[in-house]
Amino acid sequence: DAKTTQPPSMDCAEGRAANLPCNHSTISGNEYVYWYRQIHSQGPQYIIHGLKNNETNEMASLIITEDRKSSTLILPHATLRDTAVYYCIVRVDNAGNMLTFGGGTRLMVKP
């Protein structure tokens, strides 16, 4: 699996957009980008995924650069409940189920 790099921590003001970057410069053409988050004392929660195109769902938006070497997860209006560790990982389709989680970004949403 390709390796990802994320900043260890970020702050965001409540109500503002949180933009979480991820570098995956060794990503292969058939590898998808997935985002998960983990709130304290809970298991990771799936947020969104994408291959080439930008994606949006009820939780977030995912912007993937044209060269696919980086992506940004956008929480449009961050709330205190969005405080969590956010993981960006890549996965090959039809793969043997290997998902490697890195250190993630600890997002702190402040009032």
Interaction site with other proteins (CB under 8 A): 32, 34, 36, 41-46, 49, 51, 87, 93-94, 96-104
Q: Measured from the CB atom, is 60 or 87 closer to other proteins?
A: 87
Closer CB to other proteins, 97 or 111, in the complex? 97
- Tell me the C-alpha distance between 70 and 68, whole Å: 6
Rank residues 34 and 107 by Cβ distance to other proteins and give the closer one: 34
Closest approach, Cβ 84 to other proteins, in A, equals: 13
Handedness of CA 22, 27, 29, 30 (dihedral sign): negative
CB of 54 to other proteins, least distance (A): 15
Beta carbon of residue 6, minimum distance to other proteins (angstroms, whole number) = 11
Q: Which of 63, 106, 87 is nearest to 3 (CA)?
A: 87
User: Can you tell me the distance from the alpha carbon of 72 to that of 4, in angstroms, rounded to the nearest whole number?
Assistant: 12
Cα-based torsion angle of the residue sequence 50, 58, 97, 40 in order, rounded to the nearest 10 degrees: 130
Q: Which is nearer to other proteins, 8 or 111 (CB)?
A: 8
Q: What are residue 80's DSSP bridge partners?
A: none
Min CB(108)–other proteins separation in Å? 17
